[in-house]
Structure 1
């Protein structure tokens, strides 16, 4: 692979104009096709085959009027002090504004609070429902503008008027906030390279790759059910790794220039060495993301494949477009040539001087390892009581109208109003069926954490009835989950006593079931990922202990990440510091997502750091010096790469959507723990303690395993021979004067 990438680097540099124009043309063509097809994204996170989902299908068959065929906006209103919404002047004002909304051609129906019976017990709060002839995602800005105008008119009259509903609230897909993260990344790159011009190259190439990847995902959404948050996730990962991969190649290119290699030769070497590590790192991330398909959950599969596609494009841009851009930049990329005398260099080698961090770690390996293990172990403890679920508008900032609408509804109808349980009751059709159904309703009222239980509504068949249960607690409360479990645990008892079969459904029950399904799939997914990591790293490093150390490091950073998420998001610590607006269950698909993504990113840093150690160890056979060399050559690059990742994820954390915020928060601290504690603290310390044993591999196993040559050993031999021959040729043409 290294030789092929070496030749590819030469070809890209030689054909730089074609490559750069070709990359831009691919972006433009994919953009035109994607925009012409349009995105077909949705916000559903369902799992086919769940009993609660099948029950909902039966419910819709019996009660077809409950099917929501179009988007809706709820205009939630609260009367002024000492008045109600039924006061004559207030009622007339509300009806006038609602009549204006009916003039919108996209509106199919407007239901006032006086018609839909949404007024609360004291008549101070209620809502109007505006229904549209399109899905919620397709309600136009013009239609939303009419409702905003109506709300503003009511506010001017002294009422509180807020908006929510599928036609108004949509998940954010990127925005201006991510640009802040990119700017911070640019500052890091400028500092790392000592040049703004050099620093901007990774950002520009990453943007080309991200743009192409996003356009391909939009096109793919027309053929594969794709949740909207998959695009946000793919954007986060694609942008971060795109910058990092370019950084790795450019850093190696500058090192080769500093060693005196000709520019195109340096480009080719960088592509053959760092480029090999980029390809391998990209493959590991793709495996981690594509591995989500083994869970057999459609929305996770779409999410993983979308992000994997962005990674694939980022790798292609790094090994094809970046070499072309480097050649285009020519002498504008400056490096400091090493002008120290041979005697000084020899002196430094004898002293075995590395950077300060390298000397600190190698001098105190036990201290660094124990400190790192203790820190990550402590951070992992909250993971033991992690509870997963979904997020809603109640976790948004109070500066947003949908959050204020959520709070008004909670005030009017209780916090459980937002997460009702729909219970489908099947009777046996006997003369006592109605009485048995009534007994069942009364039985439900006795369970703990019940808010209200509405009277049963019987469907057209006469055998199926619907019971609406409002919990006393919100969706983010574990007691709500316990209520669902309680009802289900008593279904057999009720069937025997009252001859009524109960099945719990509704969005709350479905989300609880999805969370349980995801939690059950997590251990299997982790085993698959850990097994793949061990095999891949064993092939790369030709060692048994190094892959074991890498896998254990990944497990440590994973535990610390999930533990810290639980500590902040679920337990409620430091929420203001990180911009969260309330305690919540951990997002149900977050643990699997973090495993898949963090696995790939952890292997990125492991490969770039340890492969340089192995490269040096094969030259001198000194384990300690190889660790120093790895930190000296790759430690700074890994540090910059980690900071870039953190910067990009921090930009996405500034979003107002709680799901995007918690995903970026998890990835930010996952990278922080893995790059700076595991890879730059624990890994060097363990490598020192292992010594030469770290590189042991049985000879029989060495013969079986394929040699991936990620370090580009063969490439360096070719390049050094070329450089040597070039110097000899120069000496023949311009012989040195005889002293």
Structure 2
């Protein structure tokens, strides 16, 4: 590894990058009956309804019309009829039923059935198209039109989770870089750790997309239906893997930093740290990968997705990022790996993880000045 660090680095990064390419097609959603095994009654009922009434029958959209601002019942009825007409004219709507009015005539509810399946991208676009079309109706009639129902709710939750990924990663990685900078007294080592984590997580998401969205090797683990990944899954995988990845980073790099601080050369510090801590990291990674791989045999697609994502992420991060990329980067950087700007060195607290202060000589205590007691002759008087 230290003989050809550049080769190891390039091969590992290219390999993980290639595995991470499918993650660019990641689609989030909430699993429904369509993702359950065909042996379950829920899945059989779903298939029968799809065959008899169309794929969108399992995911109807509920359109609620609030006409409380209408002057009278006729105006409220006209607004409701305009909403129904507009919904039926939207491309992708298979049918829309007659509205049901509340007893006081200020609220109406109608059901729109899409032409596509609940978790398809076309249904997601249809929800946005209906909401966009309702903006003109609201401006014309003064009514308030809302699109809801289980399908629309799942789409909104998935979009909210997707929008939260970037801020979530920014906060987590930012705090990690700050803490690792304090611990290792280095700027490049924490950045390397964060980039390596992103690479391993991206590769894990690539595996999840390839298996559960594209169906690659799905038959080997019993994936009967491909579809979007559960919307909460990326946040769970990122949180769990991040904790394990930083543990592995601290295990390996802390020993390297300790040897370097105590006089070892950068290359010797990498070898010593890897020799003493590499087996611990490898054993921990094998245990965690085996535990997560046990989830793959479960019948639930959600548990299977979690097992594949976590097992692949831990394996990538431990064996490729921490035990291949990290030593190669440190070997290439040499002394620069432990560089910290003087301005940061003065500002950051010194936690002294390596125990450098223990090797410093302890200063001798200063002799205490003796003060004469009141009424007693001073030392000068005795001398005289």
* Contact 2:118–2:151 (Cα < 8 Å) also in 1: yes
* Contact 1:424–1:503 (Cα < 8 Å) also in 2: yes
Shift of 1:509: 1.2
Shift of 1:668: 1.4
Alpha-carbon separation, structure 2, partners of 1:619 and 1:503: 67
- The residue number in structure 1 matching 2:381 is none
| Aligned counterpart for 1:564 among listed residues 183, 189, 207 | 207
| Aligned counterpart for 1:388 among listed residues 19, 24, 28 | 28
- The residue number in structure 1 matching 2:2 is 362
Counting only pairs closer than 5 Å after superposition, residues 479-628 of structure 1 correspond to structure 2 as 479-496=122-139, 500-628=143-271
| Aligned counterpart for 2:92 among listed residues 449, 457, 460 | 449
Alpha-carbon separation, structure 2, partners of 1:609 and 1:578: 34
Alpha-carbon separation, structure 2, partners of 1:368 and 1:600: 25
- The residue number in structure 1 matching 2:277 is 634
Alpha-carbon separation, structure 1, partners of 2:280 and 2:77: 73
- The residue number in structure 2 matching 1:691 is 334
* Contact 1:425–1:500 (Cα < 8 Å) also in 2: yes
- Classify the secondary structure of the residue corresponding to 2:215: coil
- Classify the secondary structure of the residue corresponding to 1:362: coil
- Classify the secondary structure of the residue corresponding to 2:172: helix
- The residue number in structure 1 matching 2:366 is none
TM-score by length of 2: 0.85
| Aligned counterpart for 1:421 among listed residues 43, 61, 68 | 61
- The residue number in structure 2 matching 1:464 is 107
| Aligned counterpart for 1:682 among listed residues 305, 311, 325 | 325
Going from structure 1 to structure 2, the CA distance change for 1:410 and 1:713 (only over 3 Å counts) comes to farther
* Contact 2:185–2:340 (Cα < 8 Å) also in 1: yes
Alpha-carbon separation, structure 2, partners of 1:394 and 1:711: 55
* Contact 2:82–2:137 (Cα < 8 Å) also in 1: no
Structure 2: runs of 5 or more not aligned: 361-384
- The residue number in structure 1 matching 2:50 is 410
* Contact 2:61–2:113 (Cα < 8 Å) also in 1: yes
Shift of 1:710: 4.3
* Contact 1:557–1:673 (Cα < 8 Å) also in 2: yes
- The residue number in structure 1 matching 2:364 is none
* Contact 1:612–1:630 (Cα < 8 Å) also in 2: yes
Counting only pairs closer than 5 Å after superposition, residues 330-349 of structure 1 correspond to structure 2 as none
* Contact 1:440–1:498 (Cα < 8 Å) also in 2: no
Deviations 1:109-130 (A, max 9, x none): xxxxxxxxxxxxxxxxxxxxxx
Deviations 1:647-679 (A, max 9, x none): 111112222222222122221121122111111
- Classify the secondary structure of the residue corresponding to 1:474: coil
- Classify the secondary structure of the residue corresponding to 2:10: helix
**Larger Rg belongs to:** 2
TM-score by length of 1: 0.46
Going from structure 1 to structure 2, the CA distance change for 1:496 and 1:527 (only over 3 Å counts) comes to closer
Alpha-carbon separation, structure 2, partners of 1:548 and 1:403: 47
- The residue number in structure 1 matching 2:382 is none
Going from structure 1 to structure 2, the CA distance change for 1:438 and 1:582 (only over 3 Å counts) comes to same
| Aligned counterpart for 2:301 among listed residues 658, 682, 707 | 658
Deviations 1:93-118 (A, max 9, x none): xxxxxxxxxxxxxxxxxxxxxxxxxx
Alpha-carbon separation, structure 2, partners of 1:397 and 1:628: 50
Shift of 1:572: 2.7
Going from structure 1 to structure 2, the CA distance change for 1:490 and 1:689 (only over 3 Å counts) comes to same
- Classify the secondary structure of the residue corresponding to 1:370: helix
Shift of 1:439: 4.2
* Contact 1:424–1:502 (Cα < 8 Å) also in 2: yes
- Classify the secondary structure of the residue corresponding to 2:262: helix
* Contact 1:421–1:509 (Cα < 8 Å) also in 2: yes
Counting only pairs closer than 5 Å after superposition, residues 169-208 of structure 1 correspond to structure 2 as none
Q: Which moved more, 1:597-606 or 1:559-568?
A: 559-568
* Contact 1:365–1:685 (Cα < 8 Å) also in 2: yes
Shift of 1:432: 5.1
RMSD: 2.3
Quick one: higher RCO (CA 8 Å, sep 6+), 1 or 2?
Answer: 2
The number of equivalent residue pairs is: 357
- Classify the secondary structure of the residue corresponding to 2:31: coil
* Contact 2:50–2:57 (Cα < 8 Å) also in 1: yes
- The residue number in structure 1 matching 2:40 is 400
Alpha-carbon separation, structure 2, partners of 1:402 and 1:492: 37
1:668 correspondence with 2:314: no
Shift of 1:491: 0.8
Alpha-carbon separation, structure 2, partners of 1:614 and 1:661: 39
Alpha-carbon separation, structure 1, partners of 2:235 and 2:326: 25
* Contact 2:186–2:338 (Cα < 8 Å) also in 1: yes
- Classify the secondary structure of the residue corresponding to 2:2: helix
Shift of 1:369: 0.7
* Contact 1:458–1:466 (Cα < 8 Å) also in 2: yes
* Contact 2:83–2:134 (Cα < 8 Å) also in 1: no
